Chains A and B, each alone.
Chain A
Amino acid sequence: MSQVKTKNLKNFSTSADRFEGSNLLCPGCAHSIIVREVLNATNDHLILGASTGCLEVCTAVYPHTSWDVSWIHIGFENGSSAIAGAEAMHKALKNKGRLKQPDLTPKFVTFGGDGATYDIGFQWISGCFERGHNMMYVCLDNEVYANTGGQRSSSTPIGASASTTPAGRISYGEKRNKKDIMAIMAAHGAPYVAQVAPNKWRDMVAKVQKGFSIEGPVFINAMSACTTEWKFAPEDTIAISDLATESLVFPLYEIIDGTKLNITYRPKNVLPVRDYLGAQGRFKHLFTKQYEYIIDEWQSRVDAKWEYLQRREDACV
């Protein structure tokens, strides 16, 4: 495997992008920042897949492609099985001695939104992980079905106003808690499951490289701040992402072999959850007398989760 030098950002900046501009993603879209950090983490050949969603729709607009490497899209639900099929074929051809360049170690990676991952494509992902394909699944978690106009998904957090859970006089928005996809994927016994955020590039690239070096299915849950649906200005994508990681709304950790949990980032000064919520239009209704208790409840949930993660880490289970 050829590892890109990522000791520091200067070294990393010598890598050549294999994802191209003039795609149709919104200005300031974090999906693209995540894709760059994943692709640039390796010099190996890449075979990519995608489920339907903003990334797929905006980067393969006939007659153009924004991908400089092999790339496949079939449907919303099967980005995972599309790439698992490619991986299985590669393995079979290798075993039969029919590969022209048998020494290459291409990486099989697929991207899906939270809608495609937490909800509609879940069965396919579960199958791929159970079969143990040598692939990386990257969830671009923007907590909403962005591409079709902002419907809630099972990743949408409590209190967010989405088009199918609108906030108003009688509702504070989404009422169900975000699904714990990390625990679910770890429960498959996957060798490596990690949560990342593109603003913490070093942590993210290290996890992606670790994932590439591991044999078997790897799951990466990547926070993707969505300027359009979270309702913040496009230039603030990194600032909002920083608020998410510094407030521990989005903790960064990894789970090895289904059980061993490591926290990989500890903020020096933990910010209040209120700061994160207040920076986004999707939570603006919470800052009223009627719904302010939702913010307090949210802070308690974040505190409890952080406590839980630390205990898991200490106990080495």
Chain B
Amino acid sequence: MIENGWNQFEIGSVLRPFSGEVSDVSVIQPEDRLYSASNSFSVSVADWRIEKPLFKKELCIDCQFCWIYCPDMSIISRDKKMIGVDYDHCKGCGICVQVCPTTPKALLMFPEQADEEIELAQWPKKETQETKEN
């Protein structure tokens, strides 16, 4: 159906988010789901970003503020731990950085083309950051 244009699809046809049978998505994480080509998950919005968040694991206290407030389901948390950013779906809004409470922050924004390894190596040290109340 996805190969048809919007004016070709049949009345009553259904866009299916998954290919094949899906028992209960409420307990299946994205990595174990069979997404169909018509799920927006299959598309990337990485090119919307001017800036990207980078994540410094050692500073993270797993508070999950970034997870709850990310509007784009792009903070990956598994087993109560924040494990990284989903750069296919992150739009670079910067909310996760704003709500991160640690000093220095475990998430910071950088230009999209910045080199992750270099930025992680020169991450700000304690004195230079202020704690954000939340």
Inter-chain contact B40/A66, CB cutoff 8 Å: yes
Number of interface residues of A (CB under 8 A): 50
Inter-chain contact A32/B71, CB cutoff 8 Å: yes
Chain A interface main SS type: loop
Q: Report chain B residues within 8 Å CB of A239.
A: 98
Judged by a CB distance under 8 angstroms, whether A297 is at the interface is no
Q: Measuring CB to CB, which residues of chain B are less than 8 angstroms from any residue of chain A?
A: 1-2, 4, 6, 9, 15, 17-18, 24-30, 33, 38-45, 48, 62-65, 67-74, 77-80, 86, 88-95, 97-99, 109
7 further A-B pairs in the complex, CB-CB below 8 A; given A22-B41, A27-B72, A234-B93: A13-B67, A18-B26, A32-B71, A32-B72, A59-B40, A63-B2, A235-B95
Q: Report chain B residues within 8 Å CB of A16.
A: 25-30
Judged by a CB distance under 8 angstroms, whether A19 is at the interface is yes
Inter-chain contact B26/A21, CB cutoff 8 Å: no
- If A14-B80, A20-B40 touch, whether A33 touches B71 (CB-CB below 8 Å) is yes
CA distance A32 to B95 in the complex (A): 13
How distant is A9 from chain B, measured CB to nearest CB, in Å? 4
> How many cross-chain pairs have Cβ atoms below 8 Å apart between A and B?
148
How distant is B127 from chain A, measured CB to nearest CB, in Å? 23
CA distance A251 to B85 in the complex (A): 33
Judged by a CB distance under 8 angstroms, whether A57 is at the interface is no
Inter-chain contact B79/A62, CB cutoff 8 Å: no
Inter-chain contact B68/A12, CB cutoff 8 Å: yes
CA distance A69 to B1 in the complex (A): 19
Inter-chain contact A13/B64, CB cutoff 8 Å: yes
Per-residue B-contact encoding for A136-159, CB less than 8 Å = 1, 0 else: 000000000000000000000000
Q: Report chain B residues within 8 Å CB of A67.
A: 17
Inter-chain contact A235/B64, CB cutoff 8 Å: no
Inter-chain contact B69/A236, CB cutoff 8 Å: no
How distant is A247 from chain B, measured CB to nearest CB, in Å? 15
- If A21-B89, A235-B95 touch, whether A65 touches B15 (CB-CB below 8 Å) is yes
Inter-chain contact A238/B99, CB cutoff 8 Å: yes
Judged by a CB distance under 8 angstroms, whether A223 is at the interface is no
